[in-house]
């Protein structure tokens, strides 16, 4: 199934039915009088967040949603039926914007959350509504009110507990495939990930959702590469796992490049909890590993985790670190102090003397 996270949709609620002009005229009935019924109300257009969807692909093939028109009133005081309403079903995490694509209408963050986007027009009154002691034979009725119409934008931001960020080929997809049942595309060329992937990771009996997004390169916020719009899918996460490939010549520069793109994007990503990890360490010898780990520590300000998803090194420690931040953010507890899985801080300092 193709992934689509933005769609433009036209919606229109139903018009109200017109009231009827009618008089009761029956044989042997001495007194007649107006008996025109009211028109029915037009249908509404609703949007609802449902489980089981993770893309807006349905709205590429159907982009117009119109509710039913109310039925006109009829004689013998018969009220017209209301028009059928329309419900647009979208994934949890969908935001609805006005036509300018900037004014937020509603943010659907919970399953079952509903919102009325366009109200149907009221039905018109029949002439029976207007009869009185001084006007016993009104010969007019109200028309139904028109429904609302507008163009809206749907924008999906995936709901995940943790997100993976980094340069292309930093090992994000390999990590996701290793710790979850997700099967993202993995290859040795840049931008193998062209759309976000979700997976459920489990560690020590606790599950959390992990999101992998396409890699960022320098200038992504200006549209270089495939841009940075996919960063919206990690806006809702509680923690970011920033992977820096050990194959980078300058790991500190690689870290700062991605960090700059996160700051340029905004959305609170620059202030989000972050765990930095040096990935793909199985390709380095011990001396080179210590050297790059120290360089990365200097760039990010704390000892990085050392891992290799392909060789299953340090993966458990990374998952536990993510879990601790997720639990702490939900319970507002202090984070436990975890040591590095491959080299401790003293080893990294000693490595600087060997250079």
**Which helix or strand (DSSP H or E) is residue 135 part of?**
none
**What pLDDT score was predicted for residue 221?**
64
- Cα gap 260→185, rounded to integer Å: 26
- Determine if residue 336 is labeled as part of a ligand binding site: no
Q: Which has the higher per-residue pLDDT, 232 or 9?
A: 9
Token pair belonging to 100: 């300018």
- Asked whether residue 293 is marked as a ligand-binding residue, the answer is no
Q: What is the pLDDT of residues 108-121, one digit of tens each?
A: 999 999 999 999 99
**Is pLDDT above 70 for 346?**
no
pLDDT in tens, 257-316: 999 988 998 878 888 899 999 999 998 888 999 999 999 999 999 999 999 998 999 999
Which pLDDT does position 286 carry in this prediction? 87
CA-CA-CA-CA dihedral for 221, 224, 225, 231, to nearest 10: 10
| pLDDT of 3 higher than 80 | no
Residue percentage of the chain with pLDDT more than 90: 59
Structure confidence at residue 86 (pLDDT): 97
Compute the average pLDDT of residues 120-128.
96
User: Would you give the end-to-end CA distance of the chain in angstroms?
Assistant: 51
- Taken in order of first residue, the domains within the chain and their CATH numbers are 6-156 (2.70.210.12), 162-354 (3.40.50.300)
d(CA 167, CA 155): 24
Q: Is position 75 annotated in a ligand binding site?
A: no
User: Does the annotation flag 166 for ligand binding?
Assistant: yes
* Residue 193, annotated as binding a ligand: yes
Residue range 71-85: mean pLDDT, rounded: 96
Q: Which residues contact 222 (CB under 8 A, 6 or more apart)?
A: none
pLDDT in tens, 161-184: 999 999 988 888 899 999 998 776
Mean pLDDT of 63-87: 96
27 is in an annotated binding site: no
């Amino acid at each position: 199934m193709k992934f689509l996270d933005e769609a433009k949709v036209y919606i229109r609620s139903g018009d109200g039915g017109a009231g009827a002009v009618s008089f009761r005229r029956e044989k042997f009935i001495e007194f007649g009088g107006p008996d025109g019924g009211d028109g029915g109300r037009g249908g509404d257009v609703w949007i609802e967040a449902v489980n089981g969807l993770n893309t807006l692909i349905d709205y590429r093939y159907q982009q117009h949603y119109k509710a039913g028109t109310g039925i006109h009133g009829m004689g013998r005081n018969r009220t017209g039926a209301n028009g059928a309403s329309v419900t647009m079903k979208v994934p949890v995490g969908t935001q609805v914007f006005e036509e300018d694509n900037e004014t937020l209408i509603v943010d659907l963050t919970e399953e079952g959350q509903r919102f009325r986007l366009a109200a149907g027009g009221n039905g018109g009154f029949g002439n029976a509504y207007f009869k009185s002691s001084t006007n016993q034979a009104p010969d007019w009725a109200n028309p139904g009110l028109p429904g609302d119409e507008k163009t809206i934008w749907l924008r999906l931001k995936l709901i995940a507990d943790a997100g993976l960020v980094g340069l292309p080929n930093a090992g994000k997809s390999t990590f996701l495939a290793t710790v979850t049942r997700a099967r993202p595309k993995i290859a040795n060329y840049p931008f193998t990930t062209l759309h976000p992937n979700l997976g459920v990771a489990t560690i020590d009996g606790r599950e959390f959702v992990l999101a992998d997004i396409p890699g960022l390169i320098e200038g992504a916020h200006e549209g270089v590469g495939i841009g940075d719009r996919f960063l919206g899918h990690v806006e809702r996460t509680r923690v970011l796992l920033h992977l820096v490939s050990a194959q980078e010549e300058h790991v500190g520069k690689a870290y700062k490049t991605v960090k700059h793109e996160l700051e340029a994007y905004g959305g609170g990503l620059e202030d989000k909890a972050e765990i930095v990890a040096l990935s793909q360490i199985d390709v380095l010898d011990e001396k080179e590993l210590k050297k790059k780990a120290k360089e990365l520590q200097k760039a990010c300000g704390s000892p990085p985790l050392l891992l290799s998803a392909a060789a299953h090194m340090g993966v458990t420690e990374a998952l536990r670190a993510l879990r601790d931040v997720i639990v702490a953010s939900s319970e507002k507890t202090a984070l436990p102090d975890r040591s590095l899985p491959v080299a401790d801080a003293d080893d990294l300092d000693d490595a600087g003397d060997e250079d």
